[in-house]
């Protein structure tokens, strides 16, 4: 009889390509991964791993069993989903992640609504950038992740994921109140060719979007400061150190001395939630999607009124 947890270890090895990568994904030690693989090799009577330089690689038998493992684990997820659906109750544990402004802007109201409506559901959350959230859902570390892309730069999602839109999040440009463009009704990104930008971390999706968008307009951005949190960026703007893109979601309260002006090209982020398609029937996932979409709709109406 094949041990399910050992198949999970093999699946992690196949996904991450190394013992250390599998250990990180499973939150165990590298020696625990090696011990589980040794036991699995004894169970199947074949060598599943072979030395490859300073690491290891899957043998032909290892790749064959890893392919089966992915399907078996998916079937287990589907079985659990069907059992929850058959019971029809929103119970158990639900693990979610979100990028920082979504965690700030969506999680408090959504989780409060879930607790009131479904007291037997235990929700666990953490802040993760979109790429890390998607990876966590694929690995099974997370049940759901709130991610984003931009109107002109979509994020490619791997196969096997389902998604639901939460809201379209309009973004303004934030600048010090003494900036020459602070009194404008609207601005273009290219109007800030001579300003220093306060942006996100190197390699982050939003930072890459900003570079991509400005360069498409013939502007090579001057990046002065980087910060993951919108409120840190706005604090730097308040100190007169540059300008930044300021989406509506999670940015309030606005620091003193900062003015926001809409972008004439209507810069928007698409915010949505993803989960494994084989868990689609879980009542807890459906309840969470409903709660998040309600909060998103409320925020969207507030944004429209504020700009009306």
**pLDDT number for residue 24:** 80
Residue 269 has pLDDT above 80, yes or no: yes
Please state whether beta strands 161-176 and 258-262 pair in parallel, antiparallel, or not at all (unpaired).
antiparallel
Q: Per-residue confidence at 251, pLDDT binned at 50, 70, 90?
A: confident
CA angle 237, 238, 240 (to 5 degrees): 65
Q: Which two tokens stand for residue 233?
A: 């960026």
Whether the predicted pLDDT of 250 surpasses 70? yes
> Which DSSP symbol is given to 153?
B
Give SS3 for 29.
Answer: coil
In whole numbers, what is the pLDDT of the chain averaged over residues? Answer: 90
Whether the bond into 56 is cis, omega within 30 of 0: no
**pLDDT tens, 208-236?**
999 999 999 999 999 999 998 889 999 99
The tens digit of pLDDT for each residue in 35-91 reads 999 999 999 999 999 988 878 899 999 999 999 988 888 788 777 767 776 677 788
More confident residue, 303 or 276: 276
Nearest to 198 by CA among 233, 174, 231: 233
Q: Is 141 left (phi over 0), alpha (psi -120 to 50) or beta?
A: alpha
In the prediction, which pLDDT does 222 show?
A: 94
pLDDT at residue 228, rounded to an integer? 85
Give bridge partners of residue 153 from the DSSP assignment: 150
Q: Is the pLDDT of residue 305 over 60?
A: no
Looking at 49-53, 113-117, 235-239, which range is the least confident one? 49-53
Work out the angle at residue 194's Cα, subtended by the Cα atoms of residues 191 and 195, and round it to the nearest 5 degrees.
90
**Dist. CA 68–CA 73, nearest whole Å:** 9
> Is residue 33 scored above 80 in pLDDT?
yes
Top-ranked range on mean pLDDT: pick from 17-26, 225-234, 275-284? 225-234
Listed ranges 231-245, 254-268, 274-288; the one with the highest mean pLDDT: 231-245
What are the residue ranges of helices labelled H in the chain?
4-16, 19-26, 30-44, 60-87, 100-105, 107-117, 130-139, 205-216, 230-238, 283-307
Contacts with 129 (C-beta within 8 Å, 6 or more apart), sequence order: 99, 204, 205, 228
Euclidean distance between CA atoms 35 and 48, whole angstroms: 13
């Amino acid at each position: 009889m094949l041990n399910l947890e050992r198949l999970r270890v093999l699946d992690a090895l196949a996904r991450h390509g190394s013992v250390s990568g599998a250990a990180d994904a499973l939150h165990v030690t590298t020696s625990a991964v090696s011990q589980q693989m040794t036991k699995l090799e004894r169970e199947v009577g074949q060598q599943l791993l072979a030395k490859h330089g300073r690491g290891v690689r899957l043998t032909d038998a290892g790749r064959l069993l890893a392919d089966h493992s992915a399907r078996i684990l998916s079937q287990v997820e589907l079985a659990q989903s069907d059992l929850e659906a058959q019971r029809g109750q929103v119970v158990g544990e639900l693990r979610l992640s979100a990028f920082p402004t979504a965690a700030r802007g969506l999680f408090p109201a959504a989780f409060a609504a879930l607790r009131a409506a479904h007291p037997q559901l235990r929700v666990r959350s953490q802040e993760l950038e979109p790429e890390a959230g998607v990876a966590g859902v694929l690995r099974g570390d997370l049940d759901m992740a709130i991610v984003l892309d931009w109107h002109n730069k979509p994020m490619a999602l791997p196969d096997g994921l389902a998604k639901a839109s939460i809201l379209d999040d309009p973004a303004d440009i934030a600048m010090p109140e003494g900036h020459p463009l602070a009194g404008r009704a609207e601005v273009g990104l290219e109007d800030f060719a001579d300003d220093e930008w306060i942006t996100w971390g190197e390699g982050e999706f939003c930072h890459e979007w900003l570079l991509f968008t400005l360069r498409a307009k013939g502007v090579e951005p001057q990046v002065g400061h980087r910060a993951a949190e919108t409120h840190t960026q706005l604090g730097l703007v308040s100190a007169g150190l540059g300008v930044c893109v300021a989406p509506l979601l999670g940015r309030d309260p606005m620091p003193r001395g900062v003015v926001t002006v809409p972008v004439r090209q209507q810069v928007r982020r698409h915010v949505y939630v993803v989960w494994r398609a084989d868990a689609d029937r879980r009542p807890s996932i459906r309840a969470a999607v409903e709660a998040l979409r309600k909060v998103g709709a409320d925020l969207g109406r507030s944004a429209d009124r504020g700009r009306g």
